[in-house]
Every structure is written in structure tokens, then in C-alpha cells.
Chains A and B, each alone.
Chain A
Amino acid sequence: MIAKLKTVFMDVWDTIFADKRIFKLGIYGAPNSGKTTLANRMCKDVINSDSEFTDISNIAHETRKINVKEKLLVNRNGKKIEFDLIDTPGIATRIDYEVFVKAGMNNKEAKQRAREATKGVIESIKWLDNVDIVLIMIDSTKNPLNQVNLTIVGNLEARNIPFLIIANKIDLKSGKLEKIQQAFPKYKVIGISAKFSKNMDDLYDKLIVMRKKVKR
């Protein structure tokens, strides 16, 4: 009876205060770290969305514009969080159209993609001022100590934005969660496979806790 009353009370509470508790969740990282795969995974996991974000591919800079999905709702054992999910283009210090030519594009397409990719990086950086919590996606099969990851961490620290480091692709043999944790000893790292939905519950539980740190 008490449990039932509690559920009813929580539902009423959520209905009244849901909008006020919506926060902006940004997914940041280097190209091909799995940001859009995670965004798509989250869209499948939430209880109020049935559509995915965008296409994914193995060619870098597939996402070249900021994509936002509004009011996604996660319910973990009665604890609910509601957020706008922001999938950002990968941040890079270099963009070479010839890489896209090697991947099979013609010169015109490759140059166009490079131009769009540069704009995407600039947009991602601008959006750092608009997010409340950030998931930093790191490909656990690669060296995590690259300048893009360090710059993202440094900027979030400087802006006092809470963030969570996600070691993605741990389903792969070469995926090394401990390597990511060693590179960022000050922070908790969660290992996931966005592609195969591994450890996503840990991520949502952590997000529910982090939600309390958002100052608005």
C-alpha cells in the first residue's frame, strides 16, 4: 500500500516538475569514438522515443552537425531523469580532405565533407557553453592521451560542467578499459559497448546521480 502510494506520489511529482528537471546532455569526443552509436542506443533505451539519431559509418566525421533529441526520459527502478540529448560532431585538430578521397569519395565530395567537418568542430566547441552534463566518449582500443580528449576534459573542468568518461568499444579484444582509467586517474570511467548495449545500466545509474550536480 505504501509502495503504491509512493509510486502515485512520484508520478504526480514527475508530472508537475518534469520540465524543470530537464537537462542538456552532450556527447563529446574524437571522431569515430562512437558518439552517434551511443546516442542511437540511448534513443532505443529510453521509454519515450522510437527513432534513432542519424546514420553511422566507419569514415570519420559522419556527424557534421549538432543533432538534438528533446525530452528523452529514462526510468531506472522508479528514478526518472529527463534530458535533451545532444550528439556533437567529433572534435579534431586536423581535417584532411585526402583522407576522404582515400575512403572512396571523389575530390568534390571529399572537399565538401572536409568543409562541413570543420564547421562541425567549431559548432561542437561553441555548444560547450550550452550543456549541463557531458559524456566524453573515448575509443578504448586507442591511446586515450590525445589532445582532443585532454582539451575536452580541461574545458569542462574550467567551466565546472560535470562529466563522465565513457570507454567505448570494450566488447572488442583490443578494448582496454584499464588503460583509459590509468590515463584519467582523477575520474570515474565507465566501460561500455554502445553497439551491443553492454553496461548501459551503469551509465544511466551514474547519470541519475550526476543529475543532482546540475545547477538549474
Chain B
Amino acid sequence: MLKFKYLSNKKLSSMNSKGRMEEILKLIKEENIILIDGRLNSIDEANLIRETMNSINDEFNGLEIGIVHDNHEHNLITRIKHNIAKILIGESTGLTIIGPAKIISELKQNPESIEIYFHKDYINKYSKGTGKNNIKKK
């Protein structure tokens, strides 16, 4: 079974950076794949990598992050609206996927799509008895 956990941008925005990192890492260590509406800011992304490195041990080997977002150029008014929203509620456009490296072998991202490759061992473990396997292996 794969567990997807939704984390709202609103909830994350109400926390400080340390709180956001703790929340994300807690869910990742519980083997959840996290979906966030929007994206972390760059500084948070670097903090997340740093905190992940601090947490690595024999059991936890890190995470994979992928982001899809609108990469198109917009006119001035749309950009202003977007920047105001960004200041008020954080970066709410796009979608962020964060998963444990133990489960996800690779996240291939393009501006408008993400391919998730799961570890073969993980798929074999959890698809036992179902006879079904619709996710990509690598």
C-alpha cells in the first residue's frame, strides 16, 4: 500500500520554517508520500535538504522532491497578482511531491509532469497477493 498525505499550503504557511521541516520529515519517515498544493520557497528547500542530511542513518536514506508548476511567462498584472498572493499565503501555484528515498528510486520532473519510479523491492512487498501492479518499476 502506498500512503499519500496531503499537506495544505495554508497549513504549512501557518508554521515557521523549522515547524515546516519537522512536519515534512515526520511524515516522510512514516513512509508517506506528501502532496503539497504549491511549493516551498527556495530557502525552505535548502533547509529541507540540510535537515534531511542531519537525519540520515541506516534506516533513513533521504527523500525525493518533485515540483510541477506553471512555467509560462505572464503579463504584468497577472505577475503582480501572483506576487501579492505569494506574500499573503506563500507560493500556492503548482504541486510538490515529496517521498521517502526508501520507496521512491527516482522522481523525473519536467515543467508540466512528474514521473515517479518506485523501488522494485517496495512494489513486490506491497503488491503481494493483489496480482495487480500498475505503477512504474525501476
Give the B-binding residues of A (Cβ under 8 A): 91-97, 111, 114, 118-119, 121-122, 125, 128, 143, 145-148, 150-151, 154-155, 157-158
Contacts and interface: CB of A to CB of B under 8 A. Distances in A.
Given A118-B54, A121-B50, A94 B42 contact: no
A26 to B, nearest CB: 14
B19 interface: no
Residue in B46, B65, B109, B111 with the greatest tally of chain A CB atoms within 10 Å:
B46
Given A151-B42, A154-B42, A95 B62 contact: yes
B43 A158 contact: yes
A193 B54 CA distance: 34
A208 B82 CA distance: 36
B13 to A, nearest CB: 17
A147 B104 CA distance: 14
Contact of A151 (B49, B58, B62, B108): B49
Interface size bucket, B side? 20 to 34
A145 B52 contact: no
A93 B101 contact: yes
A150 B46 contact: no
A148 B42 CA distance: 11
B54 A122 contact: yes
Contacts of A91: 49
A94 B63 contact: yes
A118 B56 contact: yes
Given A122-B50, A147-B109, 18 more contacts: A91-B49, A92-B49, A93-B64, A94-B62, A95-B56, A118-B54, A119-B53, A121-B53, A125-B50, A147-B64, A147-B65, A148-B49, A150-B67, A151-B49, A155-B43, A155-B46, A157-B42, A158-B41
B61 interface: yes
B42 A125 contact: no
Contacts of B67: 147, 150
A196 to B, nearest CB: 29
A122 B108 CA distance: 24
